[in-house]
Structure 1
Amino acid sequence: MARERWQARWLLAAPHRLGFFAAACLLACSALWWLAWMLSRHALGIAWFWAVSPGLAHGLWFAFGFMPLFFTGFVFTAGPKWLRLPPVDARSLAPAVASMVAGWGLFVAGVHMQPLLAALALVVVAMGWTAILRRLARLLGASTVGDRSHLRVILGAGGVGALALLASAACLVAGREDAARAAVQAGLWGFIAPVFVAAAHRLVPFFGDLASPRLAAWWPQWLLWTLIGLCAARWPFALADLWWWPQSAAWRALQMSVDGSGALLVVTLCWRWARLQGLRTRMVTMLYIGFAWLGLCFALSALSQALLWASQGTRALGLAAPHAFTMGFLGSTMLAMTTRVASGQAGRSLAADRPAWALFLVLQLAVLLRIGAALWPAVEPALLIVAALAWSGAVGGWALRYGAWFGRPRFDGRPG
């Protein structure tokens, strides 16, 4: 029997449909926008007008654009189950989601026309996101479940994100792009990273007692708070890179110690994961690779600081570590988790099928190419274009495939 045609009304059938569809649209649009810029700049030699610098515009949209919408779909799908509460009606979330989508559309116009318009857009986005946080706070208040730590982390981190959006808007009004970049870093390490860590810690069995049974017996949430602390420590280091140059040897030694410790922890956990559980399914492998990118981010950052120290500030690894974190850890984990939720909620197997696995592999290629562009400046323009093409293919393919699911009934005929 032929499947029903796509209808927008199905987006309001469940929170994950609404949130994921809006996020997928923004994700695909942001990828195509950046690809067009890369092609215009490096292949065609056509200059675009930027009212806000390209790097800052890129950071704001890629950090705050689609991620909060993915969080919205995820939190209001999994959250009520964790809290043992009734499902959330997606229609109650629609005004906030619409506000965020409209705000980012306005933002794109603003970065090419007028900084004040971009600032206004960020305020609109912050208002929508704040409404989402208020709804989450009401859920937490209504629950009597003992362990609400993961959703409390997400709520607290979400508050950091709202403040970072408003701070970025204020900085654009004041003409302080350097301070806006600092706000982006605060959002990245104080908002996006803790949400990902909390979700992974709750959903992936490995992040429980198996990681270290003896330590877990003494401090059950040790891994959650250790990883959050390591990510939070990245913010002052990012601020130093923006405003403090040259940095002292003691500061570089501190950063190498923190990042090296993070790399050692993640590599150890990956080794235990592979030894005790193995990579039995594609979905497990996707989550494993995503987590491994976090370790590589810490390792690249520590190595970059070591090079700066040894060369007296003349050699570094550029943007390799940040992209290992954003495209590698965040991108891979996002694709794995959203694929898992979308498949389960659509009535399909939770195991990643061939199309999902192919999209994931293309995304890995994009990450490797982008890091390669940072490591080999001589071929950077060509690698940037190919990386942008691969990234657009991976996320655009995901948006097309799963966006088609969100506008149709479940495959098994059940409601939702």
Structure 2
Amino acid sequence: MARLAILFAAAHRPLFLAGVLNFALLMMWWTATLFDIHIWPIGMPSNDFPAALQHAPVMLYIMLPAFFFGFLLTVFPRWIGYADLRQIQYLPVGCAFIIASILAYYALFAGQHYWLAAALCVAGFGWLIALWHMVLLILAERRDGKGPTWHAWSAFAALCLSLAGLGFSVVFLITLDGQAYLVASSIGTFGFLLPIFFTVAHRMIPFFGSNVVKDYVSWRPYWVLALLWIFLIAHLLFSLGGYNAMRFVSASVLCALTAILLRRWWPSQKAPGLFMVLIWGFAWAPIGFAMIAVASLIEYTASGIGLALAPVHALYIGMAGSLVIAMVTRVTLGHSGRPLAMNRIAWLAFWGIQLAAVARIVAGARGEHGHWLVLAGLIWVLLVTPWVWRQAGMYLSKRADGKPG
């Protein structure tokens, strides 16, 4: 009971715990599945439901949302200027994602995709509770004549849009409709994952930089965030419609916008590692969009040369994986009363993500080569798991400085 009291002492604790455990367990399952398919049969469950189509829904709608809600339920009230959420408000959200995670891994390891649909439904229940508390804060802001706080509105819009993607994922898992899978993955990537990361980065990277880098110029114009939204939604629609020429245009613009942000955010003077991992992680965004633009051009010209899933994994593993390590490490250290500095285990995890991203890109460039896929998974599991256990221990322990929370 004491451990549970500690776990639910702050909004980020249960959700980050679910997130980091998923960060390891999902890749353990996926790597074992890839090994079973491409290297040597080890008895992983097999049925008519392709394993390759199961890890994306878990990543997009259970693993990453746990991190997102853990962060946003902590900072959302502060962004708008209200008191922190009470335990009775955030506890159901944390419990929903913990239960959803348990159901998801039973489904994956038992080969029961209907249970995976149930897991997504449980996560969706927690999602709706979180959105309810967010909309109350937004309405309070309007009632009190404050704001609008555009970062809060941007994050809220992405979370609302992603509910549609979660719904399509459930439809896919029940009906095995391939079009539903495409819609769910596209919304989850361009209407949810990327808008959330870009919104948080747009607000937090300049803020962190101005606090830790001498003479740092904080640059975060809202027009950039608005353009990112416009071209992400355009790219989502072009992807669903199969308009490869227009996908090239939208991806090129997104590449340019993220490159501009990267250039303006890059410190001109020495910066601590905990800040630089944010910058290096964000650097994968223009790389990923450049690869998507090239892939779109190749598909448009039907040249016969392809990058398969390499471009999107530059964003999934390279950018998203790196920023999860960077942001979760920082938030966890700050909210556990520990010094804000990258430790050896965090560095190991961060560079492990870089190596895994490179291996996954090589796999895609070589036609989804099985050995490279397994290598990418093994790198992730071996180098990131120690960070996961260290983080999990902090969520189950009292603050080092003795303060509540």
Same fold (TM over 0.5): yes
Asked if residue 266 in structure 1 is aligned to residue 283 in structure 2, the reply is: no
CA contact (8 A) 1:279 1:285 kept: no
Q: Aligned partners of 1:317, 1:148: CA distance in 2, in Å? A: 39
CA contact (8 A) 2:45 2:111 kept: no
**Partner-residue secondary structure (3-state), 1:233:** helix
Asked if residue 375 in structure 1 is aligned to residue 365 in structure 2, the reply is: yes
Q: Which residue of structure 2 lines up, in the alignment, with residue 247 of structure 1?
A: none
Using the TM superposition, give the Cα deviation of residue 212 of structure 1 relative to its aligned residue in structure 2, in angstroms. Answer: 10
CA contact (8 A) 1:193 1:228 kept: no
Q: Provide closer, same or farther for how the CA distance between residues 381 and 174 of structure 1 changes in structure 2, counting only shifts above 3 A.
A: closer
Q: Aligned partners of 1:81, 1:289: CA distance in 2, in Å? A: 27
Asked if residue 253 in structure 1 is aligned to residue 245 in structure 2, the reply is: yes
Q: Aligned partners of 2:233, 2:208: CA distance in 1, in Å? A: 19
**Which residue, out of 303, 324, 332, partners 2:322?**
332
**Partner-residue secondary structure (3-state), 1:280:** coil
Equivalent residue runs for 1:9-408 within 5 Å: 9-46=5-42, 48-110=45-107, 113-143=111-141, 144=144, 145-205=146-206, 220-240=221-241, 244=242, 251-274=243-266, 277-278=268-269, 280-310=271-301, 312-377=302-367, 380-408=369-397
Using the TM superposition, give the Cα deviation of residue 254 of structure 1 relative to its aligned residue in structure 2, in angstroms. Answer: 2.3
Q: Aligned partners of 1:362, 1:356: CA distance in 2, in Å? A: 10
**Partner-residue secondary structure (3-state), 1:44:** coil
Q: CA RMSD in A?
A: 2.7
Using the TM superposition, give the Cα deviation of residue 321 of structure 1 relative to its aligned residue in structure 2, in angstroms. Answer: 0.7
1:10 maps to amino acid: I
1:32 maps to amino acid: M
Q: Provide closer, same or farther for how the CA distance between residues 200 and 50 of structure 1 changes in structure 2, counting only shifts above 3 A.
A: farther
2:306 maps to amino acid: A
1:198 maps to amino acid: T
Q: Deviations over 1:198-224 (max 9, x none)?
A: 1111111179999897xx7xxx41111
Q: Aligned partners of 2:279, 2:162: CA distance in 1, in Å? A: 26
Q: Aligned partners of 2:200, 2:217: CA distance in 1, in Å? A: 16
Q: Provide closer, same or farther for how the CA distance between residues 177 and 104 of structure 1 changes in structure 2, counting only shifts above 3 A.
A: farther
**Partner-residue secondary structure (3-state), 1:318:** coil
Q: Deviations over 1:160-184 (max 9, x none)?
A: 1222212221233333133223222
1:166 maps to amino acid: G
Residue ranges of structure 1 left out of the alignment (5+ in a row): 1-5, 245-250
Q: Deviations over 1:230-278 (max 9, x none)?
A: 32233123324xxx5xxxxxx433222221222223223323333x534
Using the TM superposition, give the Cα deviation of residue 372 of structure 1 relative to its aligned residue in structure 2, in angstroms. Answer: 1.1
1:154 maps to amino acid: A
CA contact (8 A) 1:51 1:113 kept: no
**Which residue, out of 3, 7, 16, partners 2:3?**
7
Higher mean C-alpha displacement, 390-399 vs 148-157: 390-399
> Taking structure 2 as the reference length, what is the TM-score of the superposition?
0.89
CA contact (8 A) 1:190 1:231 kept: yes
Equivalent pairs, count: 395
Q: Provide closer, same or farther for how the CA distance between residues 207 and 294 of structure 1 changes in structure 2, counting only shifts above 3 A.
A: farther
Q: Deviations over 1:375-398 (max 9, x none)?
A: 1248x2221111101112344222
Using the TM superposition, give the Cα deviation of residue 153 of structure 1 relative to its aligned residue in structure 2, in angstroms. Answer: 1.5
2:260 maps to amino acid: T
**Partner-residue secondary structure (3-state), 1:65:** helix
Q: Deviations over 1:109-128 (max 9, x none)?
A: 44654544433332222112
CA contact (8 A) 2:73 2:85 kept: yes
Higher mean C-alpha displacement, 38-47 vs 52-61: 38-47
**Partner-residue secondary structure (3-state), 1:168:** helix
2:10 maps to amino acid: A
Q: Provide closer, same or farther for how the CA distance between residues 204 and 273 of structure 1 changes in structure 2, counting only shifts above 3 A.
A: closer
2:134 maps to amino acid: L
CA contact (8 A) 1:320 1:371 kept: yes
Q: Provide closer, same or farther for how the CA distance between residues 391 and 320 of structure 1 changes in structure 2, counting only shifts above 3 A.
A: same
1:231 maps to amino acid: L
CA contact (8 A) 1:346 1:410 kept: yes
Matched residues, percent identical?
29
2:357 maps to amino acid: V
Q: Which residue of structure 1 lines up, in the alignment, with residue 213 of structure 2?
A: none
1:150 maps to amino acid: H
Residue ranges of structure 2 left out of the alignment (5+ in a row): 211-215
CA contact (8 A) 2:306 2:367 kept: no
Higher mean C-alpha displacement, 175-184 vs 359-368: 175-184
**Partner-residue secondary structure (3-state), 2:82:** coil
Q: Which residue of structure 2 lines up, in the alignment, with residue 248 of structure 1?
A: none
